């Protein structure tokens, strides 16, 4: 019985991961700036106590969107805008592009990793700390601080969900080498790095070669980075099962690159440069030949001193302009073409009441897939797969009445959830050949049927019609 409830908890957590992603509803960054996306539309936050020169990260409750905490990679503030009791002295760099990144600990509802990077390839390297939100009366505290993962590294870190499991992948880039370090984050901890030697050497010919953003696309099968004073953008394939980075493609620039972001449908890549002739460029990723893709690229904006780009839960991409109270906004990033994507240079006001708030040189670093765009992602072989990896049979689908489930495995456990993550049905000890009907009284809509047999999990979408 105990095992059943542990499994049920895991499936609940996994269902919430699939359907209740409010982790990124609260953005804290820059000079006491922030944005609240809880309502679906951006609203300026004016209560932050953080002045982050460059990189930062924040995290919200995955169900309610309420703020949990935020950090500049050095201090950690709770939801009362107070530094946590043990929340100072983290070893992120004050001027690191992606100084911090917060990743939920898989299958744990109270603990979060904070990953930090030193600036300009410094010796402090890539480290992690752990926040436990059950401490300090629910306001959270840091329980593990500055555990070393790798040194030296550049200022680039990014993470994405493994859409077939509760795991995440964290990727960093080495300093003075061409090494990517891919760390699998699972319920049991952080695995040793999978090392991929591919692409350009990021070295110290000029210290600024360390800076620039690195991002996954929403599905996690593509990886892009901006290589600072190397004046290059690199595109790679990422194997979300093995963690291997491969197949480099390079785009050369005449200016210094800094920010980049994928559209939610992964068909477009946006890149910013920050010189006096700074631009935001759009690349059509459906064009697989690099030379042809570069030839077809369009200038979205000519805006000096544009730094990071960040996709938001509203589907738009926000652009940081150096120490400005305004963010640029790409309103329709899935649309190809400079006009079609609809860039507005002063698209969002961070400081409507003139309190001196501005973006500094940063926007919050987020787990890429938390911003959505994952509906068509294929999970790894032991995870979410609409081909139904466990080969069970569910018919008819769609259905305006009931569904019939035919099991092909022994001792499996079935949970049905709606798209909000609410469990509507569960079945235990399902044996091979067992057949049963379900869904007769379901409201119209999509449901997820999660089947677990041993260590293998499969999720199948079913649609109840009128």
Is the bond into 323 cis (omega within 30 degrees of 0)? no
The CB-side HSE value for 227 (13 A sphere, CA atoms) comes to 28
Q: Is beta strand 26-29 parallel, antiparallel or unpaired with respect to 33-36?
A: antiparallel
- Token couple for 280: 């935001």
Give the list of residues 6+ apart from residue 149 with CB closer than 8 angstroms, or none. Answer: 115, 125, 126, 127, 128, 172, 181, 183, 190, 193
CB 424 within 8 A of CB 440: no
260: nearest Cα among 274, 276, 246: 274
Give the strands of the sheet with 306-311, arranged side by side.
306-311, 317-321, 326-330, 343-349
- Token couple for 177: 């080498």
DSSP 325: S
pLDDT at 207: 62
E strand or H helix that includes residue 447: strand 445-453
- Token couple for 293: 């893709």
CATH of range 393-464; options 2.60.40.10, 3.40.50.261, 2.60.40.1930, 1.20.1250.20: 2.60.40.1930
CB 72 within 8 A of CB 56: yes
CB 406 within 8 A of CB 392: yes
Backbone angles phi, psi at 78, to 5 degrees: -90, -170
313: nearest Cα among 274, 351, 264: 264
pLDDT at 222: 97
> Cα separation of 408 and 456, whole Å?
13
DSSP 191: P
> Can you give the residue ranges of every domain in the chain?
26-371, 393-464
pLDDT at 249: 97
pLDDT in tens, 360-369: 999 999 999 9
Q: Mean pLDDT per 10-residue run, the chain (466 residues)?
A: 41 46 94 96 98 98 94 99 98 97 94 97 96 98 98 97 87 97 96 97 77 95 93 95 95 94 96 90 96 97 94 96 97 97 98 98 96 65 36 77 80 80 84 81 85 72 80
As a three-state string, the secondary structure of 204-226 is: CCCHHHHCCCEEECCCCCEEEEE
Q: Does domain 26-371 have CATH number 2.120.10.30?
A: yes
Residue matched to tokens 């079945």: 427
As a three-state string, the secondary structure of the chain is: CHHHHHHHHHHHHHHHHHHCCCCCCEEEECECEEEECCCCCCEECCCCCCECCCCEEEEECCCCCCEEEEECCCCEEECCCCECCCCCCCCCCCCCCCCEEEEECCCCCCEEEEEEECCCCCCCCEEEEEEECCCHHHCCEEEEEEEEEECCEEEEEEEEECCCCCCEEEEEEECCEEEEEEEEEECCEECCCEEEEEEEEECCCCHHHHCCCEEECCCCCEEEEEEHHHCEEEEEEECCCCCCEEEEEEEECCCCEEEEEECCCCCEEEEEECCCCCEEEEEECCCCCHHHHHHHCEEEEECCCEEEEEECCCCCEEEEECCCCEEEEECCCCCCCCCCCCEEEEEEECCCCCCCCECCCCCECCCHHHHCCCCCCCCCCCCCCCCCCCCCEEECCCECCCEEEECCCCCEEEEEEECCCCEEEEEEEECCCCEEEECCCCCCEEEEEEEEECCEEEEEEEEECC
pLDDT in tens, 433-459: 777 888 888 988 878 888 887 656 677
pLDDT at 389: 39
């Amino acid at each position: 019985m105990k095992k059943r409830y542990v499994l049920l908890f895991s499936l609940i957590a996994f269902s919430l991961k699939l359907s209740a992603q409010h982790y990124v509803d609260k953005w804290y960054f820059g000079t006491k700036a922030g944005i609240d996306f809880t309502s679906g539309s951006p609203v300026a936050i004016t209560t932050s106590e953080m002045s982050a020169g460059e990189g930062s990260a924040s995290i919200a409750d995955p169900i309610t969107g309420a703020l949990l905490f935020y950090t500049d990679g050095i201090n950690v503030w709770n939801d009362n805008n107070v530094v946590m009791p043990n929340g100072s002295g983290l070893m992120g760099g004050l001027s690191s592009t992606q100084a911090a990144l917060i990743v939920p600990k898989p299958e744990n509802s109270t603990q979060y990793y904070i990953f930090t990077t030193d600036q300009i390839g410094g010796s402090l390297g890539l480290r992690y700390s752990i926040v436990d939100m059950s401490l300090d009366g629910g306001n959270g505290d840091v329980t593990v601080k500055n555990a070393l993962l790798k040194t030296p590294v550049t200022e680039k870190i990014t993470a994405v969900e493994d859409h077939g499991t509760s795991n995440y992948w964290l990727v960093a880039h080495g300093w003075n080498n061409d090494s990517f370090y891919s760390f699998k984050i699972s319920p049991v901890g952080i695995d040793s790095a999978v090392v991929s030697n591919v692409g350009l050497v990021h070295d110290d010919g000029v210290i600024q070669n360390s800076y620039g953003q690195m991002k996954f696309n929403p599905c996690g099968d593509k990886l892009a980075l901006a290589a600072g004073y190397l004046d290059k953008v690199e595109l790679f394939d990422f194997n979300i099962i093995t963690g291997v980075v491969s197949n480099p493609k390079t785009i050369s620039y005449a200016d210094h690159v800094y920010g980049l972001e994928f559209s939610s449908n992964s068909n477009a890549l946006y890149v910013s440069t920050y010189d006096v002739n700074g631009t935001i460029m759009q690349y059509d990723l459906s064009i697989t030949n690099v030379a042809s893709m570069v030839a077809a690229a369009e200038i979205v904006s000519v805006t000096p001193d544009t730094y990071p780009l960040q996709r938001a839960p509203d589907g738009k991409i926000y652009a940081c302009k150096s120490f400005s109270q305004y963010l640029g906004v790409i309103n329709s990033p899935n649309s190809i073409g400079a006009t079609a994507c609809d860039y507005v240079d002063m698209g969002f006001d961070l400081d409507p009441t003139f309190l001196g708030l501005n973006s500094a040189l940063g926007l919050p670093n987020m787990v890429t897939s938390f911003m959505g765009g994952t509906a068509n992602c294929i999970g790894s072989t032991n995870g979410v797969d609409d081909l139904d990896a466990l080969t069970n049979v569910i018919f008819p689908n769609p259905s305006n009445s009931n569904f019939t489930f035919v099991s092909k495995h022994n001792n499996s456990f079935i949970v049905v959830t709606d798209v909000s993550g609410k469990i509507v049905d569960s079945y235990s000890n399902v044996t091979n050949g067992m057949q049963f009907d379900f869904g007769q009284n379901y409201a119209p809509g999509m449901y997820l049927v999660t089947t677990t047999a041993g260590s293998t999990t499969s999720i199948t979408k079913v649609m109840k019609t009128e």
